[in-house]
Chain A
Amino acid sequence: MRRADLAERSGTVSEQGDHGGQGVYLYAVTGDLGEDGRREGLTGILGAPVQVIGHRGLLAHVSRVPLDRFGEEPLRRHLEDLDWVEGVARAHHHVVETLADGTPTAPVRLVTVYHGEAQVRDLLDRRHDDFTAVLARVAGRREWGVKAYVNPATAATEPGGSSGEPGPGGDSVAGSGRESGGSPGTAYLRRRKASLHSRQDLWRAAAERAERLHAALETVSVAGRRHRPQDPRLSGRTDWMVLNGAYLVDADREEEFAAVPAPFREQGIVVELTGPWAPYSFTDASIGASTEAPPTEAPTEAPTEASP
């Protein structure tokens, strides 16, 4: 074990007496802009004070976490616990957000934990150029999220398509009286089929609109990313998410950016702007692969088909 090593080195970071069984949790890296780096009163996970480790012009923002909860084994267990994850995620996000509000910030992924200060300093040394590149890229810019939804029930206006609500009435589809006439089963299946076709057309049209919206947003931003659409259960909406984009926008173009969706809102899609966010989606300047999502697939069954 490196416990002795840890205890010996961590003195400057933690005022807490007992260093045994403590790890260093890394939230984000910023540039060292002088005395401004440390946020008074900023607390992170488990309410621990957020501290800084400075090295070669960079600041790592960290707090102490108990290894009996943030060690490998406990983490593996805890990560299965949504409540636990939510608490950590919110605390992590709070720190990152607070930092990013005042200074260019490179957010680090959830639960990045080191044994001690020395290891963090070593990281700042090894990845110095990467961090510097990311920070330069996000300076003076903020991330905005744009999500677009289409509501299958209200947006279906094509002639011949069903209303998108195939259920109750039974009178919405032309020709349902032919063939084995009265059977609600065959009528239902026929409506079902028509509905699926119109849904696919609808989806295609909506995806094209989303494509144009994304392109328009990119013209007023430094960079754009399309992330995979959120599951309806995560987004909390029944509508189809046709765009889940993130855009890095220059401070002086934010108004312009926010105005882009307006004309698209009139084309049957609901557009939601979120942010400003810390530049979570733009930390890949030279670190790792981009998280660009493949284009959205048309649901052959509507997205609402998954069994709960």
Chain B
Amino acid sequence: MSDPRARPVLRDSYAPTAPAARGSANLGDILERVLDRGIVIAGDIRVNLLDIELLTIKLRLVIASVDTARELGIDWWEHDPWLTGKNRELLEENRRLRDRLAAVEQHSSLPRPPDPEDLAPEQTGRTGEAGRPRGTERHGE
């Protein structure tokens, strides 16, 4: 795109800001206003307002793709033990338990349950959207 863009402002805007800092308003605040507020009039160019609503939702989800987010200093999930890192010992424990269970089952010749992974808590790092709790991605609307 050829339009001049105030990249540095974007970056700065996430630093602690002085109160009433006109001109350095953060991108989130601006987007929220220009997309969600202001007079809605049907122009000749029909931009489906639904598209715009969709866009704002998407923005809320997409704006911090992991890299962008890190760049902006948004990294809360890295400190949430439930999401990452700290539950490693749990994974370890789970693996041990499953191994023991398997051993026990073999011993007593019980049929193996179809999907032993079910015993693991949600965030097993097993990738795959299927195991992710539903509905947590779209809060806010």
Are A184 and B90 interface neighbours, CB within 8 A? yes
Which residues in window 10-27 of B have CB below 8 A to A?
10, 13-14, 19-22, 25-27
Judging by beta carbons under 8 Å apart, are B37 and A109 in contact?
yes
B1-40: CB near A (< 8 Å → 1, else 0) gives 1111110011001100001111001111111111111111
Among A84-92, A171-179, A203-211, the stretch that binds chain B is A84-92
- Tell me whether chain B's interface is mostly helix, strand or loop, or mixed: loop
CA–CA, A134 and B34, complex, Å: 17
> Are A108 and B41 in contact, CB atoms less than 8 angstroms apart?
yes
A263 within 8 A of B: no
Stretch in A13-21, A50-58, A213-221, A228-236 with 4+ CB within 8 Å of B? A228-236
The reply to whether B81 and A166 contact each other, CB–CB distance below 8 Å, is yes
Size of interface on B: residues with Cβ below 8 Å to A: 72
In the complex the two chains form, is A227's CB within 8 Å of B32's CB?
yes
| Interface contact tally, CB-CB below 8 A | 217
**A231 engages B52 (CB within 8 Å):** no
A interface, size bucket: 35 or more
Query: Which of A113, A229, A287 interacts with B44 by CB under 8 Å?
Result: A113
Give 6 nearest A-B pairs by CB, closest first: A167-B81, A233-B64, A113-B45, A238-B76, A280-B33, A234-B28
Give 24 A-B contacts (CB < 8 Å), ordered by A residue.
Answer: A80-B58, A87-B3, A92-B34, A93-B25, A93-B30, A93-B33, A113-B44, A113-B45, A167-B82, A185-B93, A231-B63, A231-B139, A236-B28, A258-B20, A274-B19, A280-B33, A281-B37, A283-B37, A291-B37, A299-B139, A304-B80, A305-B133, A307-B132, A308-B64
Binding site for B on A (CB under 8 A): 23, 26, 29, 45-47, 67, 70-72, 75-76, 79-80, 82-93, 96-97, 106-115, 119, 123, 127, 134, 145, 166-168, 183-185, 188-189, 192, 227-236, 238, 258, 272-277, 280-281, 283-284, 287-288, 291, 299, 301, 303-308
